[in-house]
């Protein structure tokens, strides 16, 4: 009997509490748990989700989206991590939470040589960072200076044409196929362009041993910056640098910095010479030099060197990579190649070189550049951000010191934003107002918000002029052993996203005579 009474009592208690349970469930559905984080795969103790990722984290994150949605939560070792993978989530981040996520989470490798302390890209958001940002945006990359430097860009691109012509001539003498590896030539061109803007002179040529040394050091710096590092996942290991990533970075970055330093020795701290009527960016930096006194408006000599180095890193590696991807996509898509050449022939006069002023008349070329940056953003996860404070984001709780990746590679493949997102179709941009200025969140190769790439306007000019010149001056073909369908498009991940196998193609000089093409 006692058992029956107990059963009856429990049943009555449950029935009495049932309305309360319903109310609690309703409230949970409305407000959720106060510390509810975005969805993501279960994490192992200590290592978290490290084993869910391979050598291409942007691709691995993308593969997790169908299961977990556009906002992904991971524990990478002991580090809280949020990944943004849709245009809608990116719009929420940059429009409504940009300030809360304006800091950087700095990889241990980029603390080598105290690089992060002088860097614009990796620096802590604050007074010094704002000073450097203002300097770059108002002195180096301001619209007037970019307009005034058109001749410099055209000269550097013409030198690239000369290098390719020299390769054609030597290959004919030696009986070679005449293939060129575009990545190296494009890097050297971009490097000289930045050199002219910053230091008023060419710095490298094909016969320069120092140029090859710098090119190799740059590749190594990018490799170490993009190398997965256990110390970034388990911060207590940073003092030990277990895989010597920081040590190797310090070595190769030191080589690069020494080369830049040697370029500066001739300049010293002298004032403008009578032959030099325009300031370059180094002149401006030296005006801000602190003579050993660091402050919001003063820059130490070491940090001047870091800023210059960063401009070369950013201006050379990213630009050359984007042009290489564009050329690869056009070689894979002969119909797109035909369309862009037809457009060039309708705008450029026969036997005339491409001018920067022609670019506004080339909408299909502009569409090719946009489509390339959609599929092949040079920094696929942008530079990782860091939450400055506990933040409520899209109904989720994001704790302070969460690292945030914006997977623009995945956003460029967002099926909610793009029709047939995996195909190369420049036509999708014809008649469209979508641009990469940071206001259209489905296309963010340069980022958005406070930390949008300061060099976007310059990159825009260089990408279009260089690509148009390569296509107007030469016909390009693949080696006989490679077809458009078999061209290897595999990626290699560093800080920038490059082709795993550098693009090699054969140029043939084009000459227009009476509207007929002669090769």
CB-count exposure of residue 43 (10 Å: 0-12, 13-18, 19+)? middle
Beta carbons within 8 Å of 9's beta carbon, 6+ residues apart? none
Give the chain's length: 519
Strand 403-406 vs strand 396-398: parallel, antiparallel, or unpaired?
A: unpaired
Ramachandran area for residue 77 (φ above 0: left; ψ -120 to 50: alpha; else beta): left
Q: CA 256 to CA 263: how far, in whole Å?
A: 11
* CB-facing half-sphere around the CA of 50: CA atoms within 13 A: 16
- 464 three-class SS: helix
Spatial contact of 146 and 456, defined as CB atoms under 8 Å apart:
no
Binding-site members for heme are 453
Euclidean distance between the first and the last CA atom of the chain, given in angstroms as a whole number = 105
Q: Cα–Cα distances in Å, from 374 out to 266, 364, 427?
A: 42, 15, 13
Binding-site members are 453
What letters, b where the CB count within 10 A reaches 16 and e where it falls short, cover 292-310? Answer: eeeeeeebbbebbbbbbbb
Residue 363 has φ and ψ, to the nearest 5°, of -65, -35
Helices 245-265 and 182-199: crossing angle in degrees, nearest 10, is 50
Q: CA 299 to CA 284: how far, in whole Å?
A: 11
Q: What is the 3-state secondary structure (H, E, C) of 2-69?
A: HHHHHHHHHHHHHHHHHHHHHHHHHHHHHHCCCCCCCCCCCCECCCECHHHCCCCHHHHHHHHHHHHC
Q: Which residue has the tokens 């009555």?
A: 12
Q: Which residue has the tokens 């590696």?
A: 317
Strand 403-406 vs strand 79-84: parallel, antiparallel, or unpaired?
A: parallel
Residue 476 has φ and ψ, to the nearest 5°, of -115, 140
- 277 three-class SS: coil
Chain centre to alpha carbon of residue 162: 28
Can you say whether the dihedral through the CA atoms of 205, 208, 212, 218 is positive or negative? negative
């Amino acid at each position: 009997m006692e058992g029956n009474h107990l059963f009856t009592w429990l049943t009555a208690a449950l029935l009495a509490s049932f309305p309360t349970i319903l109310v609690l469930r309703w409230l949970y559905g409305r407000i959720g748990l106060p510390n509810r984080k975005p969805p993501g795969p279960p994490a192992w103790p200590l290592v978290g989700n490290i084993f869910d990722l391979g050598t291409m984290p942007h691709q691995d994150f993308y593969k997790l989206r169908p299961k977990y949605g556009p906002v992904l939560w991971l524990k990478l070792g002991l580090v809280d991590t949020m990944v943004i993978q849709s245009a809608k989530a990116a719009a929420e981040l940059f429009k409504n939470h940009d300030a809360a996520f304006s800091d950087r989470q700095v990889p241990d490798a980029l603390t080598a040589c105290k690089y992060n302390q002088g860097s614009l890209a990796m620096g802590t958001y604050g007074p010094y960072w704002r000073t450097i940002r203002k300097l770059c945006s108002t002195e180096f990359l301001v619209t007037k200076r970019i307009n005034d430097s058109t001749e410099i860009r055209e000269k550097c691109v013409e030198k690239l044409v000369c290098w390719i012509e020299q390769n054609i001539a030597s290959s004919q003498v030696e009986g070679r196929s005449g293939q060129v590896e575009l990545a190296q030539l494009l890097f050297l061109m971009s490097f000289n362009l930045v050199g002219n803007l910053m230091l008023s002179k060419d710095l490298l040529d094909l016969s320069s041993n120092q140029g090859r040394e710098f090119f190799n050091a740059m590749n190594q710096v990018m490799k170490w910056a993009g190398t997965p590092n256990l110390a970034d996942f388990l911060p207590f290991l940073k003092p030990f640098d277990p895989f010597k990533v920081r040590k190797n970075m310090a070595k190769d970055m030191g080589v690069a910095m020494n080369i830049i330093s040697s370029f500066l020795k001739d300049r010293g701290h002298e004032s403008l010479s009578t032959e030099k009527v325009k300031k370059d960016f180094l002149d401006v930096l030296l005006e801000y030099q602190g003579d050993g006194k660091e402050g919001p408006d003063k820059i130490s000599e070491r940090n001047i060197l870091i800023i210059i180095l960063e401009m070369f890193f950013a201006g050379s590696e990213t630009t050359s990579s984007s042009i290489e991807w564009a050329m690869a996509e056009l070689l894979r898509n002969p119909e797109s190649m035909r369309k862009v050449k037809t457009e060039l022939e309708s705008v450029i006069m026969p036997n005339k070189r491409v001018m920067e002023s022609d670019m506004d008349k080339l909408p299909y070329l502009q569409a090719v550049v946009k489509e390339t940056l959609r599929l092949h953003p040079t920094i696929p996860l942008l530079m990782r951000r860091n939450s400055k404070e506990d933040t409520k984001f899209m109904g989720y709780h994001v704790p302070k010191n969460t690292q945030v990746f914006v997977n623009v590679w995945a956003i460029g493949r967002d099926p909610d934003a793009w029709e047939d997102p995996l195909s190369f179709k420049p036509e999708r941009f014809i008649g469209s107002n979508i641009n990469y200025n940071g206001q259209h969140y489905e296309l963010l190769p340069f980022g958005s918000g406070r930390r949008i790439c300061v060099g976007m306007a310059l990159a825009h000019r260089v990408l279009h002029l260089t690509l148009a010149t390569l296509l107007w001056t030469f016909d390009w073909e693949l080696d006989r052993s490679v077809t458009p369908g078999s061209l290897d498009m595999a990626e290699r991940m560093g800080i920038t996203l490059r082709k795993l196998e550098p693009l090699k193609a054969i140029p043939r000089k084009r000459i227009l005579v009476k509207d007929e093409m002669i090769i």
